[in-house]
Amino acid sequence: MTRIRFLLQLQGLGQVGLSRFAAQHGALLQSAFCRQPNLIKNAQRQVIKHFHGSLVCAKRNSVPSAQPLNEDKKSNDSALIHADLFDHVSGTFKTKATFNKAIDVFIKSDVRRRGHVEFIYAALKKMPEFGVERDLAVYNKLLDVFPKGVFVPRNFIQRMFNHYPRQQECGVQILEQMENYGIMPNLETKVLLVQIFGEKGHPVRKYQRIMYWFPKFKELNPWPIPKDLPTDPVDLARFSLARIADDLDAQVTVYQVPHTDVTEKGEHVTLPHIVGIQSPNQIELLAKHNPDRPVFIEGPFPLWLRKTCVHYYILRADPTPADEKEECPYDPESCLAYPLALDLDLDRDMGDDETFDVEICNEGPVFAMCMTGQGDEATLNQWLSGLQQKNPILGQVPVLFLLEGRTTELKISSDKESDSQNSQHEDHQTQDRRSKVEANR
């Protein structure tokens, strides 16, 4: 019987050399056909059915490249559906209450929490719109969306081969967003992670790293920026200039408060704010400045305070030439933290290097700084006029504006002089046109 089945399999495969093998065992086949025809028919059916199944397997193995594309399309479609869920539940009021309501709607819609990974990714993208990107309770509620006890590895082999990788990556993504916004996890976060992924999961290890490093870096900055910056532009300019100057003796002056003025023609004109800062040392340096050498108003320079960008302008001068420099004796008690000279009586070896490797960079002095709502020459000229009250030398020094690549010089002239200059310019243009016409003739 086994020989008969083997010959039928070879016949179905159509192997080469089957004719010789069948000729040698012809008698056996003939006798089998005569004695048990039903058995042979059943064997043929089994062989045909077996090869029919193999063709289907071959077809399935030939299309694996299209499966990831279909999965990506399904995940993108589900993410869009979940994003629409947040918009549908919240409506026009995007608050913490509506965000939590959308999470509750998803949890109650399906007990098995199918599609929870795509829902969490969509929720992470929507958090800044609802203003809950810095709320720890909302992150814990997102972690509560995961099913409990399903993704915990049961043995060391599952733990070694990254048990349920998509879910673990999603949990790590929640912790990374918390890290980016400076949110410190609490004990509830740890309990949720252990219930969902186990004590050796990647999200739990990420939680342990955050809890180790965050307390070390939390109070490391000696000049911290408050979480809530002032909304008033004058107060924000005060805080920014005091942060740049880093001098306790520097005085902040408000030259102009933003307001709306009405002109003689009845037009409403909005005037920007002008806030400046200057220290006594800068006033002293400006008083010693050579009136023949110009000073420059340069800017704008950006300053980032968290997500807010402000711009400031400086009043500076070129470096003093070497022939005009005066060496002044320094006071050793002026700065105890950073002494200007070291007089140490220590035993030196032959290999000791007594010189300091200092990079010398010649920069001119900065006399004052300001922040304003408009960076045009007229507004900066008002700041310069306010500086002349404490720095009368500015009335004798030429001032150049270096604003966004444009170089202009401040010239104070009366209306009659400006009219005469305009008329002279027009006369020169008409003379040039006449000369060109005559040349063409």
Residues 214, 265, single domain; the answer is no
What pLDDT score does 333 carry? 66
197 contacts 149 by C-beta, under 8 angstroms: no
**pLDDT of the chain, 441 residues: tens digit per residue:** 555 555 455 455 444 444 444 444 454 445 444 444 454 455 444 444 443 444 444 444 444 444 444 555 455 555 556 677 888 887 778 899 999 999 999 999 888 888 899 999 999 999 999 999 999 999 999 999 999 988 998 888 888 888 899 999 999 999 999 999 989 999 999 999 999 999 989 999 999 999 999 998 888 888 888 888 999 999 999 999 999 987 889 999 999 998 888 777 778 888 899 999 999 999 999 999 989 999 999 989 999 998 899 999 999 999 888 777 777 666 666 666 555 566 665 666 666 666 656 566 678 899 999 999 888 899 999 999 999 999 999 999 999 999 875 444 444 333 444 444 445 544 544 444 444 434 444
| 3-state SS assignment for residue 396 | coil
Closest by alpha carbon to 363, among 285, 307, 436? 285
Instruction: Specify if 55 maps to a domain.
Output: no
Please choose, from the candidates 130, 106, 100, the residue with its C-alpha nearest in 3D space to the C-alpha of residue 118. 106
- 175 with 244, same domain? no
Please tell me whether residues 103 and 237 are part of one structural domain: no
Residue 217: the pLDDT is 87
Tokens coding 297? 């108003």
β-sheet with 274-278: strand ranges across = 251-256, 274-278, 366-372, 308-317, 295-305, 399-403, 406-409
| Residue 44 in domain | no
Torsion sign across C-alpha atoms 70, 71, 76, 78: positive
| Structural domain ending residue among the three candidates 218, 245, 276 | 218
Q: Is residue 331 situated within a structural domain?
A: no
239 and 181 co-located in one domain: no
- Give a yes or no: residue 20 inside a domain: no
Residues 267 and 394 in one domain: yes
- Note whether 238 and 212 are same-domain residues: no
Give me the pLDDT at residue 32, please. 46
Residue with tokens 């922040």: 371
275 plus 382 within the same structural domain: yes
What pLDDT is attached to residue 221? 82
Contact 140, 174 (CB under 8 A): no
Q: How far apart are the first and last CA of the chain?
A: 120
Cβ-Cβ contacts under 8 Å for 43 (sequence gap 6 or more): 4, 5, 8
- Residue 117's nearest CA partner among 153, 143, 154 is 143
pLDDT of amino acid 413: 36
264/406 same-domain check: yes
Residues 214 and 290 in one domain: no
User: In this structure, what token pair is assigned to residue 354?
Assistant: 């007594």
- Please tell me whether residues 208 and 238 are part of one structural domain: no
| Closest of 363, 362, 365 to residue 287, by C-alpha | 365
Which backbone phi and psi does 142 adopt, to 5 degrees? -65, -40
User: Of 159, 194, 218, which closes a domain?
Assistant: 218
pLDDT of residue 248: 86
Q: Which two tokens mark 439?
A: 């040349």
Q: 83 — alpha (psi -120 to 50), left (phi > 0) or beta? A: alpha
Number of domains in the chain: 2
**Residue 362 confidence (pLDDT):** 77
If you search the block for the tokens 């098995």, which residue do you land on? 112
Does 49 map to a domain? no
297 and 383, same domain (yes or no): yes
Domain residues for the domain of 413 are 233-321+361-417
Amino acid at 356: F
207 & 98 share domain: yes
Please state whether beta strands 251-256 and 259-262 pair in parallel, antiparallel, or not at all (unpaired).
unpaired
Q: Domain end: 194, 218, 242, which one?
A: 218
Q: Judge whether 370 and 276 are in contact, CB under 8 Å.
A: yes
* CA distances (Å), origin 161, targets 153, 155, 157, 197, 389: 10, 10, 6, 14, 74
Q: Given this model, what pLDDT does residue 411 score?
A: 41
Please state, in angstroms and rounded to a whole number, the distance separating the CA atoms of residues 403 and 399: 13
Asked, for residue 157, whether it belongs to a domain, the answer is yes
Whether 328 is covered by a domain: the verdict is no
Query: Phi-psi region for residue 58, left (φ > 0), alpha (ψ -120 to 50) or beta?
Result: alpha
3-state secondary structure at position 314: strand
Q: Which two tokens stand for residue 150?
A: 């399903």
Q: How far apart are CA 123 and CA 104, in angstroms?
A: 12
Q: Per the domain annotation, does 400 fall within a domain?
A: yes
